[in-house]
Amino acid sequence: MLKANIFPAALLAGCFLTGILIYLFAPAGDTPSSAAPTTTPASKKEMTPELIQFKKDLIRDMRRTTQTNAVILRSTLCDTLPEGHVSCLGRVTWQLPGEEWPVDAQGKRLEPLATIFVPDLPGVPEPLRKMALITIFAPTDAWAEDMNEKPQLGCVIRVYPTLEGLVPCSYVSEEVKTCLLTPEAVANDMPIYPGIGGGDEWWPEFRDMEELCDIDYREEVCEEVYDTHKIGGYPSFLQDPPKFPAGFAFSLQITYEPDAGLLIGDCGNYYFYYNAEKNEWRVYADFG
């Protein structure tokens, strides 16, 4: 999810266009008023002090424009969970009275994948702020060690708007070892690469600036990609992003956890998208 104060593409382009024309398109010895535009990349021109400073400012603004808030969930293997409302992987520990272990269409029990208490922290997407607890069950073959196989989807996602009335339960995965998930707010989550995982509306301008100013996004702009369990922020896609209908926004990510036995193909991830208007979830698996 993107911060509300992120510059739209048109504003970005307008902010930088004048500087690009002045510093990149002006042949040596010409003043900006007499310069004729060229298509010479910055790497082919002499890096004057003015151009070096302009490039630094551009990288800074690209970084600030792209960074967003997220809540990462740091995992720790544990045999016994602390008491109370704690998030975890490999178990579902709370439910409403009368709820039972969910099964698939063949009557086979689904694996308890995660219990996630939604923290009151910056970075939690607005629709999820109306949720107190999310529990996720997945098919037993949802993750595959054999790379000739693909994990199967078919998750059951239970959402609770309040903790009032919930009772403890103990659904323990036979496949995934228990991990405690500890939330931590971050303010600098970024896409793994331009146009992958968000920001499509302004990436064309970014790509033009990368070429004109000889900027490498991964090396010079991108500071931090949280390829881990997280709420909000950017999905850490390894393959092409999914094509979901309008209204579904990225909300939650669960990544491979080799020490816990959660492989999801070869270092893949689960991405959970939520449509608040329809109260529906979509799940996408990236197999690595």
258 shares a domain with 180: yes
In a domain, 3, yes or no: no
Domain membership of residue 32 (yes or no) is yes
Domain-embedded: residue 212? yes
42 and 120 share a domain?
no
Average pLDDT, whole number, for the chain? 79
Task: Give the residue from 285, 273, 5 showing the smallest Cα distance to 149.
Answer: 285
What pLDDT band is residue 199 in, cutting at 50, 70 and 90? low
pLDDT confidence band for 180 (50 / 70 / 90): very high
pLDDT at 283: 86
Binned at pLDDT 50, 70 and 90, residue 242 comes out as confident
Burial level of 162, CB count in 10 A (0-12/13-18/19+)? exposed
Residues 234 and 217 in one domain: no
Full residue range of the structural domain in which residue 251 is found: 69-186+227-286
What pLDDT, on the 0 to 100 scale, is given for residue 26?
45
Confidence of residue 51 (pLDDT cuts 50, 70, 90): confident
- Same domain assignment for residues 134 and 234: yes
| Across 26-52, average pLDDT | 51
Give this prediction's pTM: 0.80
Beta bridge partners of residue 250, listed in sequence order: 273
pLDDT at 27: 45
Residues 120 and 243 reside in one and the same domain: yes
The whole-angstrom separation of Cα 213 and Cα 224 is 22
Identify whether residues 24 and 41 lie together within a single domain: yes
List the alpha helices (DSSP H) in the chain.
Answer: 9-24, 49-66, 203-212
Residue 14 has pLDDT above 80, yes or no: no
C-alpha span between 159 and 272 (Å, rounded)? 13
Within this chain, do residues 60 and 31 fall inside the same structural domain, yes or no?
yes
Residue 241 domain-assigned?
yes
Shared domain for 123 and 153, answered yes or no, is: yes
Mean pLDDT computed over 235-239: 79
Residues 241-269, mean pLDDT to the nearest whole number = 83
Same domain, 217 and 177: no
Residues 78, 163, single domain; the answer is yes
Domains in the chain: how many in total?
Answer: 2
pLDDT of residue 16: 47
Q: Is the pLDDT of residue 134 over 60?
A: yes
